[in-house]
Structure 1
Amino acid sequence: MQAALRASRAKGVPVVEVPLLAVAHEAGISRSTLLRRLGGSRGALDEAVRAAGVDPGEQKPVRTRAVEAAAELIGEQGLAAVTLERVADGAQCSVHSLYAAFGGRDGLLQAVYERHSPVLDVEAVLAGPREDFPSTVRTIYRLLVDTLNREPRVLPAMIADALARPGDPAVQALSRHVVPRILGGLGQWLTDEIAAGHVRDLPPLLLTRQLMGPLLIHFLLRPTVELLPGTDLPTTDEAIEFFAQSFLRAVTVEASDDHTG
């Protein structure tokens, strides 16, 4: 406890923001020894500090801290960098706590995907009162682009890993979680639009790829392409409108002026 307080004063941050490695160094022991003495989690340390009359500071729940730490790793180094040990270090918790919160690495990656992909927002749009088909397409595009541009760039990194290493166990596990969600959301919406006579009768999976593919490619490559000299790219809004009109012209049963903007 005294080592934690000294490290806190030296760094000028609350005790909860002091990494266990720094506490161990201040105490003159290894991090593993410190964790063993704490019973595998820093909770006992924070409680001891609190019992001594010092507020250790507010700390987010383990699940939130772990998702944030894993997202930073993915955005910087890709899926391969996400080990439970590295996430535990970043989240200032024990590996045991990660197993308790997520059940393992696959569960953690699924939680990161849901937090840093548009899947929950898109599902909410499709579950609520719907706009007409063209307006819904544009709303989905906006959600997707906002996610692709958000820091840390988790979704682009995950897509890159899926393309580069499709057989990787982590990619396979994430795909088994993601693909059914996409087909259950976007796929069912498109199936309903086919039944309503608004969309051509094509396989929902192909329609989903046609909906997302061109837009994804453009915005995934955009950060690189816009650095090239002499490149004149459309604005984000112009690009969204272009891809929306292209998709609507391709799939709607009766392409009218209303459907094409």
Structure 2
Amino acid sequence: MPLQAIAQEAGISRSTLLRRLGGGRRELDAAVRAAGIDPGGQKPVRERAVEAAATLISSSGLASMSLERVAASAQCSVHSLYAAFDGRDGLLQAVFERYSPIVDIEAVMSSPSADLRTTVRTIYERMAIAVQREPRVMPAIMAELLARPQDEALQPLVRYAVPRLFAGVGKWLTAEIAAGRIRDLPLLLLIQQMSSPLVIHLLLRPATTQIPDLPSPTIEEACTVFADNFLRAVALPAPPENR
């Protein structure tokens, strides 16, 4: 953006703007970068940082995601990361929002199909997309949870993601129980029964598909089978129509 346009937007002359900037736009560009936006035509700092953090998590684990390493990879300053995310926890939440299925699943549940099977099948599709998405953020996070559940690096994400999960998926399942469509089971176990078979299949799939002569269903087939199995386990028969 030319200085003339900036001056016009600010309601001052170009010469006044240059005088306030000390004769050039270097100080202005530095201030813009500090606010989390790169004036050089690159992607915004926020987007570059999320992508850089996701790549680090996928390749080296969650503990590798320091603000210093993210800043170096995203070609920005640590100060810019604080301006954009208010610290490491905010950046980690932004990565989770981008690479987990939570946002897509919440969208499905906000307008669920009248057909319970279709809703469950669609949720499984969104889960499959997220777990397989590159960089492989979700498998890396799940591996850390299994190997080091007490790791301090994980706790901010756990405190953010678990309540979010119960507020979304848990609320939907509770409504399905109240409507008499699924069994009244402990909510945590119900969520785990719904998600675990497909997630385990997706995590092991890169290895099992390398085994010669081992039949491997497509992702679509796996989603259908696991959705049907889940409903066979928890769905209640429809009540008879009133005569």
TM-score (norm 1): 0.75
Q: Structure 1: state its 5+ residue gaps.
A: 1-37, 48-55, 257-261
Tell me what 2:92 maps to. 109
Matched, 1:65 2:51: no
In structure 1, which of residues 2, 22, 44 is the aligned counterpart of residue 30 of structure 2? 44
Letter in 2 for 1:44: A
Runs of 4+ in structure 1 displaced over 3 angstroms?
Answer: 42-47
Separation (CA, whole Å) in 1 of partners of 2:194 and 2:238: 16
Tell me what 1:253 maps to. 236
Tell me what 2:4 maps to. none
In structure 1, which of residues 130, 143, 148 is the aligned counterpart of residue 131 of structure 2? 148
CA 74–43 in structure 1, closer or farther in 2 if over 3 Å, else same: farther
In structure 1, which of residues 144, 147, 157 is the aligned counterpart of residue 140 of structure 2? 157
Answer yes or no: is the 8 Å Cα contact 1:141–1:240 preserved in 2: yes
Letter in 1 for 2:187: P
Deviation at 1:43, TM superposition (A): 3.8
Matched, 1:215 2:198: yes
Answer yes or no: is the 8 Å Cα contact 2:89–2:156 preserved in 1: yes
Tell me what 2:72 maps to. 89
Q: Secondary structure at the match of 2:135?
A: coil
Tell me what 1:172 maps to. 155
Deviation at 1:131, TM superposition (A): 3.7
Letter in 2 for 1:84: L
CA 131–118 in structure 1, closer or farther in 2 if over 3 Å, else same: farther
Deviation at 1:230, TM superposition (A): 2.3
CA 44–216 in structure 1, closer or farther in 2 if over 3 Å, else same: same
Separation (CA, whole Å) in 2 of partners of 1:181 and 1:46: 33
Separation (CA, whole Å) in 1 of partners of 2:112 and 2:198: 25
In structure 2, which of residues 169, 179, 191 is the aligned counterpart of residue 196 of structure 1? 179
Deviation at 1:76, TM superposition (A): 1.0
Separation (CA, whole Å) in 2 of partners of 1:130 and 1:76: 38
Matched, 1:132 2:115: yes
Separation (CA, whole Å) in 2 of partners of 1:196 and 1:44: 57
Tell me what 1:244 maps to. 227
Separation (CA, whole Å) in 2 of partners of 1:168 and 1:43: 39
CA 129–199 in structure 1, closer or farther in 2 if over 3 Å, else same: closer
Letter in 1 for 2:84: A
Letter in 2 for 1:154: V
Deviation at 1:130, TM superposition (A): 3.4
Separation (CA, whole Å) in 1 of partners of 2:96 and 2:88: 12
Deviation at 1:199, TM superposition (A): 0.4
Deviation at 1:128, TM superposition (A): 2.5
User: What is the total number of aligned residue pairs between the two structures?
Assistant: 209
TM-score (norm 2): 0.81
Percentage of identical aligned residues = 58
Answer yes or no: is the 8 Å Cα contact 1:248–1:255 preserved in 2: no
Deviation at 1:101, TM superposition (A): 1.2
Letter in 2 for 1:103: D
Q: Structure 2: state its 5+ residue gaps.
A: 1-25, 34-38
Separation (CA, whole Å) in 2 of partners of 1:92 and 1:188: 41
Separation (CA, whole Å) in 1 of partners of 2:159 and 2:220: 33
Deviation at 1:198, TM superposition (A): 0.1
